Chain A
Amino acid sequence: MSITTTLPAETGNSTNWPEWFSKDQNEAWELFQSLPQPKRNDEPWRFANLKSIDLSDFHVSVPVQDGASLITRSSAHTNLAAKLIFANEVLIHNDQAGLPAGVLLLPLEEAAKNHEKLFRKSFMTSDVRLGSKKFAALHQAHLRSGAFVYVPKGVVVERPIEIWHWVEGENATIFPHTLVVLEEGASATVIDHFMSSRDERSLAIAVNDLTVETNAKLHYVAVQEWSDKMTAFHINTTEVEKEGVSTALQMNLGGAYVRGESDSHLLGEGSRSVMLSINPATGNREIDQRTFQDHFAPRATSDLLYHNALADSSRTIFAGLIKVEEHAHETDAYQKVRNLMLSDEAEANSMPGLEILADNVRCSHGATSGELNEDELFYMMARGIAPKQAAQLIVRGFFGTVLERLENEELQAHLGEILDRKLNL
């Protein structure tokens, strides 16, 4: 039964949500049904291949066959504070031995039940305004579980928290969700891994809500390694309060159609949001990213850097908007997208936008498209490096400049290794 036509209650996957949440889910379902499917002339879907978002032949997932092997395969960082593993939305592994006292790392449904106030304060509270409102509603209606990360005032979690989301099954759908709240002065690193168990065509509609309160500091990384047949939505909202810092990196290493929406709200004076993305596009992959840097408060900074390397017949779409609301004076906002064209069949679309309603701001954006530097290629070939290898090294260096923006060397090295493996270096 299709996820688009069948009410969640009828899917038979009853969960342990509290009653009030089930009610919200029914409302979300009604919202999903009432909102129109995106059309060609809808500005938030400009350039997108709308055939990719016909979701009618996807169904809900059933529990995986071999959870143990997925636990074995969920191995990346070696020095962790905690690790949660979800397979088809079922929590199959929960290790949080390394977490400091007071930190909560819970399945979402448990947080909804036992920490209702905290949950309600941060769970999908912002309007989804970059195009996927309909699909976010579908996510909420179908949601079965997810990760809830809460770091109380002043607590510093030194080592990363890893959360794995596995999907398995042809045409199966999962709805991964990660909710992070850092209270005043807290700090943490959260890494979401998105994985396909097999080389199958499945669907993921993932949502994450990141709340960074006064003086808190968050590193958030999404390592997306879906199968090359996957359709995936990654819908993000980040809210940063006074003097808080959020640094978020999306690494899109897999998928057939990947839609990313990153909406950053700079709510407090002196807040900072760094938005990064690394996108090696190969095959027929389409990476469709929409971003929003919305400045509500004075003296805040946002800095976006997206690097796309396009091989084969891949396509990328980048549509980003910096908005400086009235009174958000002395804003610093930057946005840069670079497309490295590696093939004659590839296509890069860039729509970097600015809307400035305040004065005394410093804003700039840039979009470039170019090819491999012949001189660099020649230099390496002259030293005996095969042309293909040389090109990969240049691509790796191109992505390296994005990784360098992370203010955490251990994390940089860790993600660099994942990238090397992906690029066969």
Chain B
Amino acid sequence: MSTETKPDIDIDRSVGDFRYEMDYAFDAGVGLTEATIDYISDVKGDPDWVRAFRKEGYRKFLEKPMPTHWATKDLESIVFENIRYYLSQGQVPKRTWDEVPDDIKRTFERLGIPEQERKFLSGVEAQFDSEAAYSNIKAAVGEQGVIFVGSTEGLKEHPEIFKKWFGKVIPSGDNKFSALNSAVFSGGSFIYVPPGVKVKHPLQAYFRINAQNFGQFERTLIIVDEGAELTYMEGCTAPKFETATLHSAVVELVAMKGAKIQYITVQNWSSNVFNLVTKRGIAHEDAEVKWIDCNIGSRLTMKYPGVVMKGKGARGEVVSIALSGDGQHQDTGAKMIHAADNTTSNIISKSISLGTGRSTYRGMVHVPKHLKGCKNNTECDALLINSHSRTDTYPAISVRGQGNAVQHEASVSQISAEQIFYMQQRGLSEAAAMSLAVNGFVNDLVQQFPMEYSVELKRLIDLEMEGSVG
């Protein structure tokens, strides 16, 4: 089928593209120096060990080179001295929406957050630039001993749990951006689920960037104790600015023996956001960590959720959907580190490249010496829509010793002319047929999302085909 007749596809990214003027009470100014870090520490009232941790992170950030020897040169477009590293209206989140200042509340209302909370969530945290404006957990869940607070409150109120795991899953020097996050982190969630508690409904965090030239650096730490279960969802949006915005989060998950964590992300940043995120979980014996990661927005996303399977029988899973439109680069993937016998991991990645979009899968699977019964399965499928679209796959798989089974498969395909023709014969327009085919490509993965999110996702991938068939 000739490339000229293929319709262009647009994705509805307009949902988050609005902003209200704000006056910030706390502003660390533009650029990053030790003074910026001291300002953040002072404002947040950090304990000394946190201040030291930040400074250590800053040192490592300066030390580490940009990883452009393997990653895209587009990273060099980030001008660190032009970024604002801390902006907030205050450090203590409100417990009810009524207390949230109107100018912030209207943003979240427009995004439908309070409504979703009433409908199907166990708790919500809503972050506006550097700090959470709202944080609440349903009474019944709180009574089970579940802690759901911001990272600042977590490190102050629950140091005995917090300190034990903070920076342990992802050391600050893991990469340049985890080091940057360690230096200036603010916001994000701290969650602890006590042994045996199965949190019925998901906890949700919503991240909103409102200010121009801003860098959001939330830090999330989730610990799910023995036999407990948790589903956590995060969403994110930002308005479209003229200049680049940076989002660089660190997310650490700890699943103790027999615990289950499901972490769901629907990323819909505007197309000027550099989204450089480090996410990793540790799964202890018989525990399960599952990342469901959907990247639709941003200019450049680099994100490779990982699972370190530390205990026997642990399971790790990454389900990844990426959609790259004009000018976008979704560089996503997974890391699976097998560190005990009989651990199993599964990676399923599907990407769609439209227009001049580029999707990249990068993966790492590591089975060290003297392990038995480890299994990994990796499947990457890429769909190219236009002749200028691009897709890459770069896996790295290391296996030592026998007694393990690892397989990787990847394929690249197009929507076939036959498929489109078949549907057109049955009365669908070419655009509707394309849309249906694209939805069919990701459908089996979308099914894995909780109902509410899969509806949201389908709407986001609702392809606007009007006037696009020439």
Chain B residue contacts of A398, Cβ below 8 A:
none
Interfacial chain B residues near A369, Cβ < 8 Å: 367, 397, 399, 404-407
Contacts of B405 in A (CB 8 A): 368-371
A366 at the interface (CB under 8 A from B): yes
Q: A293 CB to closest chain B CB, in angstroms?
A: 13
Do A344 and B402 have beta carbons less than 8 Å apart?
A: yes
- Bound together, the chains give a CA A344 to CA B401 distance in angstroms of 3
In the assembled complex, the CB of B334 is this many whole angstroms from the nearest CB of chain A, namely 15
Min CB distance, A47 to chain B, in Å? Answer: 7
Residues of B within 8 A of A352 (CB): 393, 395, 408, 410
Pick from A42, A356, A359, A371: contact of B3, CB below 8 A.
Answer: A359
Interface residue? A43 (CB, 8 A):
yes
Of the 9-residue stretches B106-114, B189-197, B274-282, B382-390, which lies at the interface with chain A?
B382-390
- Contacts A42-B69, A343-B402 given; does A354 touch B397 at CB 8 Å: no
Assess A355 versus B400: contact at CB under 8 Å? Given A366-B409, A368-B406.
no
CB distance from B410 to the nearest CB of A (A): 5
Q: CB-CB < 8 A to A346: which residues of B?
A: 400-402
A360 contacts chain B at the CB level, 8 A cutoff: yes
Are A353 and B412 touching (Cβ within 8 A)? no
* Bound form: Cα–Cα A354–B413 in Å: 12
Evaluate contact between A345 and B396: CB separation under 8 angstroms: no
- Docked complex Cα distance between A341 and B404 (Å): 9
Q: State the majority secondary structure of interface residues on B.
A: strand
A330 CA to B281 CA, complexed, in Å: 41
A362 close to B412 (CB less than 8 A): yes
Bound Cα distance from A39 to B217, whole angstroms: 33
Residues on A with C-beta less than 8 A from B408 are 350, 352, 365-368
Asked whether A356 lies within 8 Å of B387 as measured between CB atoms, the reply is no
> B396: which A residues are within 8 A, CB to CB?
46-47, 349-351
Q: A344-B370, A367-B408, A368-B407 are in contact. Are A351 and B399 (CB under 8 A)?
A: no
Residues of A within 8 A of B392 (CB): 353-356
Nearest A-chain residue to B390, judged by Cβ: A357
- Answer whether residue A178 sits at the interface, using C-beta atoms and an 8 A cutoff: no
Interface flags, B220-233, vs A, CB<8A=1, else 0:
00000000000000
Q: Does B414 contact A (CB under 8 A)?
A: yes
Instruction: Give the distance to chain A from B350, nearest Cβ to Cβ, in Å.
Output: 14
Assembly CA distance A350 to B397 (angstroms)? 5
Identity of the chain A residue whose Cβ is nearest the Cβ of B372 in the assembled complex: A344
Q: Does B69 contact A41, Cβ atoms closer than 8 Å? A: yes
Residue on B nearest A354 in the bound complex, by CB: B393
CB neighbours of B409 from chain A (8 A)? 364-366
Counting chain A CB atoms within 10 Å of each CB, the highest count among B1, B369, B387 belongs to B387
Interface majority SS on A: helix, strand, loop or mixed? strand
Whether the pair A356, B412 counts as a contact (CB closer than 8 A) is: yes
Q: Known contacts A359-B389, A364-B412; is A347 also within 8 Å of B398 by CB?
A: yes
- Residues of A within 8 Å of B399, CB to CB, are 339, 341, 347-349, 369
The reply to whether the CB of B394 lies closer than 8 angstroms to some CB of chain A is: yes
A91 contacts B by Cβ under 8 Å: no
Task: Decide: A349 near B393, CB < 8 A? Known: A359-B386, A360-B1.
Answer: no
**B407 in contact with A367 (CB, 8 Å):** yes
Give min CB distance, A141 to chain B, whole Å. 27
Instruction: Determine whether the beta carbon of A342 is less than 8 Å from that of B402.
Output: yes
A343 to B410, CA, bound (A): 27
B367: which A residues are within 8 A, CB to CB?
A: 369
How many Å lie between the Cα of A208 and that of B1 in the bound state? Answer: 39
Chain A nearest CB from B162 CB (Å) reads 34
Question: Shortest beta-carbon distance, B346 to chain A, in Å?
Answer: 15
Which chain A residue lies CB-closest to B370? A344
With a cutoff of 8 Å between Cβ atoms, the chain B residues found around residue A361 in the complex are 384, 412, 414
Q: Which of B291-330 contact A (CB under 8 A)?
A: none
A318, closest chain B residue (CB): B397
Task: Let me know if B395 and A367 touch, CB within 8 A.
Answer: yes
Give the chain A neighbours of B369 by CB distance below 8 A. Answer: 344-345, 347
As a 0/1 sequence over residues 13 to 24 of chain B, the CB contacts with chain A under 8 angstroms (1 = contact) are 000000000000
Within 8 Å of chain B (Cβ to Cβ): is A165? no
- Interface status of A390 (Cβ within 8 A of chain B): no
Assess whether B70 is interfacial by the CB under 8 Å rule: yes
**Bound complex: CA A47 to CA B369 (Å):** 15
Contact code string A325-346 (vs B, CB < 8 Å = 1, else 0):
0100100000000010111111
Does A356 lie within 8 Å of B390, measured CB to CB? yes
Across the interface, which residues of B come within 8 angstroms of A344, CB to CB? 369-370, 400-403
Asked if B411 is at the interface (CB within 8 A of a chain A CB), the reply is yes
Q: Does B391 contact A (CB under 8 A)?
A: yes
A329 to B402, CA, bound (A): 41
Q: Which of B392, B395, B402, B407 has the most CB of A within 10 A?
A: B402
What residues of A have a CB within 8 angstroms of the CB of B402 in the complex? 341-344, 346, 371-372
Given known contacts A356-B392, A370-B405, A363 and B398 CB-to-CB distance under 8 angstroms: no
Bound Cα distance from A148 to B470, whole angstroms:
55
Q: Which residues of B contact A406 (CB under 8 A)?
A: none
- List, in ascending order, chain A residues with CB within 8 A of B390's CB: 355-357
Q: A43-B70, A367-B407 are in contact. Are A351 and B401 (CB under 8 A)?
A: no
List the B residue with the shortest CB-CB distance to A353.
B394
The CA of A46 and the CA of B408, in the complex, are separated in Å by: 19
The residue that A343 contacts in the complex, of B70, B391, B401, with Cβ under 8 A, is B401
Q: Does A124 contact B (CB under 8 A)?
A: no
Interface code A363-388, partner B: CB below 8 Å = 1, 0 otherwise?
11111111110000000000000000
30 contacts between A and B (CB under 8 A): A326-B387, A329-B387, A341-B399, A341-B401, A343-B401, A344-B400, A347-B398, A348-B400, A349-B397, A349-B398, A351-B394, A351-B397, A352-B393, A352-B395, A353-B394, A355-B391, A356-B391, A358-B387, A359-B414, A364-B412, A366-B408, A367-B395, A367-B406, A367-B407, A368-B408, A369-B399, A369-B406, A370-B405, A371-B402, A371-B405
Q: Which 10 A-B pairs have the closest CB atoms?
A: A344-B401, A341-B402, A354-B393, A369-B399, A371-B402, A364-B411, A369-B406, A363-B412, A347-B400, A368-B407
Q: A368-B406, A369-B399 are in contact. List 11 more A-B contacts (CB 8 A).
A: A329-B387, A347-B401, A349-B398, A352-B393, A352-B408, A352-B410, A353-B395, A354-B391, A356-B391, A359-B414, A361-B412
Q: Which residue numbers of A lie inside 8 Å of B, CB to CB?
A: 41-43, 46-47, 326, 329, 339, 341-372
